[in-house]
Structure 1
Amino acid sequence: MAGSSSPGAPYLEVAAVIRDRIADGTWAPGDRLPSRSELGAEFGVGENVVRRAQELLITEGVLEGRAGSGTYVRPPVARRTLHRTPRSGQDWAGIAPGGFTGTWEADSTAKVPAPPAIADRLGVQPGDSCVRTVYEFLTKRQPVMLVTSWEPMTITGGTVVVLPEGGPLAGAGVIARMAHLGITVARIVERLRPVQADRDQAHLLGIATGTQATLIERTHYDTSGRAVETADILVPADRWDIEYEIALSAPGT
């Protein structure tokens, strides 16, 4: 490749040149990179080689992709703390997670067949009808976190709270909406595991496919042990620290 003496795969050489240009100030934080065709012509490689180089640098946090806009030098990103600790008098596991100060968009679809993994978490049969709600949490109009919530329609179907973001309790959270139906949420279970963002998730978040993230599988249970809602909370690992606080009772109490 012209202009580079670094050995290795062509996409690694392209990535090395881009890093060097960012380091020497040729491209500053927030700058839009030339198109893949322009870079490919300059470096003497195909657009797929440039794409692989950009995806590597997005994964490393050097670049960021913006859907429909292009690839940019990533400005320094302030890490946020996602609080997963109950707050007195609040539905702590409700819509907006603790520590989040942006906005969100929601899209609900009724009568969605439960996939096998979701059915297992909800204790229903695969294919049973659910309401699926997809949330995009945004900061400066850019998605920074995704949540997909599932509720069995055997519980909420035909009621005024069937849609989490519709009706008189729109946006009130699972606990308040279930209470409206006479159902008491007794406990919430969260299971964390590391994942890699798939193609659709990465596209929404403006990150490379395969970028590391934390998946929080959250499920609400009522007093009988029945699951009334489950959700996948996808948290990009390079943007969020996840914090749990465990309150201990004083000795003798």
Structure 2
Amino acid sequence: MSEARYRRIATDIRRRIAAGEWQTGQPLPSRTELAAEYRVHPQTMRLAYDLLRRTGVLEGEERRHVSVAHPPAMRTLTDPDAPWPYSSETTDTRPHPATEELAERLRVAPRTVLQHETVECLDPGGRSAMLVSTWWRGRRRRHASFVAELGVASLGVEQAHALGLLVDALAYRVVRTRLDEHGAPVETADLILPMDRWTIRLAG
């Protein structure tokens, strides 16, 4: 089976959706039906459907009917320290030794054991809107202020899976470091925001 074949099929399905053959929220034919239409093995069609789900074109669980996905809501980030107003899920709480970068951000020695959590922030429809990974040393403390830097990062495997995007896809990366009243860092976080779901508005 050629890898290019299922990608060509996925491209053609995108074209048919854009042409209005299937509307937002409308189920697509089963994999078996479309495999017969495209004259390919059902496994090839499964790969095409998986690719379209990962890239946000289709939505639905594997082995069930999939439908044309609703476009992800576009949100504007103006305050990277504001609490998330919708539901969220904590997906990882394993401690981590400080990398060189984290050690510099928190002003600790490299390989210092840091507490950690990764939280998946969900939009009102239950779709993943943002990933927030936070690190701190010892007991979590209150902060008085924060600093933030905006950049771009390519997604790793776990991030891409959580956000329904492709590995190595580009996303906004906001590095937020919370500071105590003396300006010393108490925790630092990476906010990963998919570019198709967010705009960034800087305060003036």
Q: TM-score, normalised by structure 1?
A: 0.64
Question: What is the CA–CA distance in structure 1 between the aligned matches of 2:61 and 2:154, rounded to whole Å?
Answer: 19
* 2:179 is aligned with 1:191: no
Aligned to 2:163: 205
C-alpha deviations, 1:112-171, integer Å up to 9, x for none?
322333223212223212221211111222221110111111xx2xxxxx4xxxxxxxxx
Alignment partner of 2:12: what SS?
A: helix
Where do residues 10-21 of structure 1 align in structure 2 (5 Å cutoff)? 10-21=5-16
Residues 217 and 233, structure 1, Cα contact 8 Å, conserved in 2: yes
Select the residue among 115, 118, 126 that pairs with 2:99.
115
C-alpha deviations, 1:70-128, integer Å up to 9, x for none?
754222333111222xxxxxxx71432xxxx4222235636432233322321222321
Residues 12 and 53, structure 1, Cα contact 8 Å, conserved in 2: no
Select the residue among 1, 24, 31 that pairs with 2:26.
31
Deviates more, 1:29-38 or 1:200-209: 29-38
Q: Which runs of 5+ in 2 are unaligned?
A: none
Select the residue among 68, 89, 96 that pairs with 1:105.
89
The amino acid that maps onto 1:193 is G
Residues 115 and 127, structure 1, Cα contact 8 Å, conserved in 2: yes
Select the residue among 119, 127, 132 that pairs with 1:142.
127
> Are residues 19 and 142 of structure 1, via their aligned partners in 2, closer, same or farther at CA, if it must alter by over 3 Å?
closer
Question: What is the CA–CA distance in structure 1 between the aligned matches of 2:78 and 2:105, rounded to whole Å?
Answer: 23
> Are residues 102 and 43 of structure 1, via their aligned partners in 2, closer, same or farther at CA, if it must alter by over 3 Å?
same
Select the residue among 28, 48, 55 that pairs with 2:51.
55
C-alpha deviations, 1:199-234, integer Å up to 9, x for none?
211211222333331010111233544321100001
Residues 172 and 193, structure 2, Cα contact 8 Å, conserved in 1: yes
Alignment partner of 1:133: what SS?
A: strand
Residues 116 and 136, structure 2, Cα contact 8 Å, conserved in 1: yes
Residues 65 and 206, structure 1, Cα contact 8 Å, conserved in 2: no
> Are residues 65 and 199 of structure 1, via their aligned partners in 2, closer, same or farther at CA, if it must alter by over 3 Å?
farther
The amino acid that maps onto 1:51 is L
* 2:78 is aligned with 1:93: no
Residues 199 and 209, structure 1, Cα contact 8 Å, conserved in 2: yes
Question: What is the CA–CA distance in structure 1 between the aligned matches of 2:177 and 2:59, rounded to whole Å?
Answer: 32
RMSD: 3.2
Deviates more, 1:127-136 or 1:26-35: 26-35
C-alpha deviations, 1:43-94, integer Å up to 9, x for none?
34464686368637854x5x0455656754222333111222xxxxxxx714
Residues 32 and 73, structure 1, Cα contact 8 Å, conserved in 2: yes
Question: What is the CA–CA distance in structure 2 between the aligned matches of 1:120 and 1:52, rounded to whole Å?
Answer: 43
Q: TM-score, normalised by structure 2?
A: 0.77
> Are residues 110 and 16 of structure 1, via their aligned partners in 2, closer, same or farther at CA, if it must alter by over 3 Å?
closer
* 2:74 is aligned with 1:83: no
Question: What is the CA–CA distance in structure 1 between the aligned matches of 2:203 and 2:83, rounded to whole Å?
Answer: 19
Alignment partner of 1:19: what SS?
A: helix
The amino acid that maps onto 2:101 is A
